[in-house]
A = this chain, B = another copy of it.
């Protein structure tokens, strides 16, 4: 009955339990998967022995048989950036709650590495792949079309082909910030942008639109864009203010693409003896709790990475749950405005 008579104990298998209890391994299997056609008594005996022997089902064998791995892949461009780790956090949390394991890879912002990671993940037979990609979807299509695992794009560059995706309403970010400053009475709004952000220009466009909507002129000379990129985010804010204050028109509101940049801006303003928000209102982006609650609490646009992660995880689960045609679904999560002291003045 048992196929390994006098061998040394390797790892506990179903057969061991079955032999112990004079049952067939089928019965063990049924108990473990909660099928109902087992007597309560047998069930109890099995569970008891399972516990005693610390039996753990072999997932490789199960996967091989069922064709499902209960494993979902997650590829992000970076594990240093809080946006992505925050998103990863909620994704892992939600997928684990549904008993999926999560295999994590970082592409380090390198398209070639990203490609390799995706290849690997697919060969691990992940049931689905959640991908925060840095490259165009067209190339990804190549890689992934030979796999039947659903692919969920998240925080990606604008999609070239129809696909499942969860994204931030990037246009709304600039809109929210600009509109808010207009509401609190700013007439001369400046902005400070980094070079990094893929959708920065998009936001800028919307920023212009928002200004226009409020009947304000867009002043190119009041848009500070970092070119080089060697300076830190904080420093960028400091430098930007120094330039701005040298200009002919002094701004009365500043939009920053990053909370840290906003801190730099605020420090530089304080150093120049300018009152916030009375003389100049400042708003950041990211809503990092640690950064926003220092000194002059910073108003910021929450980029909802947690919610985006949650939506992505749920979308993945939904795609795996139904055998139905699984229609392509695109979710857009809106950013939200968190108002704090740095813009707190009456319009």
Interface residues of A (CB under 8 A from B): 10-12, 53-54, 56-61, 63-64, 69, 71, 79-80, 85-86, 88-89, 92-93, 96, 99, 101-106, 108, 117, 119-125, 146-148, 232-235, 260, 263-264, 267, 289-290, 293-295
Contact = CB atoms under 8 A, between A and B. Distances in A.
B125 A58 contact: yes
A58 B54 contact: no
Nearest to A59: B124
19 contacts: A10-B148, A11-B148, A54-B146, A56-B123, A59-B60, A60-B60, A60-B61, A60-B64, A60-B125, A64-B64, A71-B103, A79-B88, A79-B92, A92-B105, A96-B117, A101-B105, A101-B120, A234-B293, A260-B290
Contact of A294 (B92, B120, B125, B264): B264
A94 to B, nearest CB: 11
A92 B106 contact: yes
Contacts of A263: 294
Given A58-B64, A60-B64, A232-B293, A93 B106 contact: yes
A125 B59 contact: yes
A18 to B, nearest CB: 18
Nearest to A86: B80
A234 B123 contact: no
A51 B141 CA distance: 16
Contacts of A233: 290
Contacts of A92: 79, 104-106
Nearest to A70: B124
Contacts of A93: 79, 106, 108
A71 B106 CA distance: 16
Given A11-B148, A56-B119, 5 more contacts: A10-B148, A58-B125, A59-B123, A59-B124, A92-B106
Contacts of A99: 120
A178 to B, nearest CB: 26
A265 to B, nearest CB: 12
Contacts of A125: 56, 58-60
A8 to B, nearest CB: 11
Contacts of A89: 79-80, 106
A267 B267 CA distance: 11
Contact of A85 (B85, B101, B147): B85
Nearest to A99: B120
A294 B260 CA distance: 9
A216 B334 CA distance: 57
Contacts of A235: 293
A320 to B, nearest CB: 16
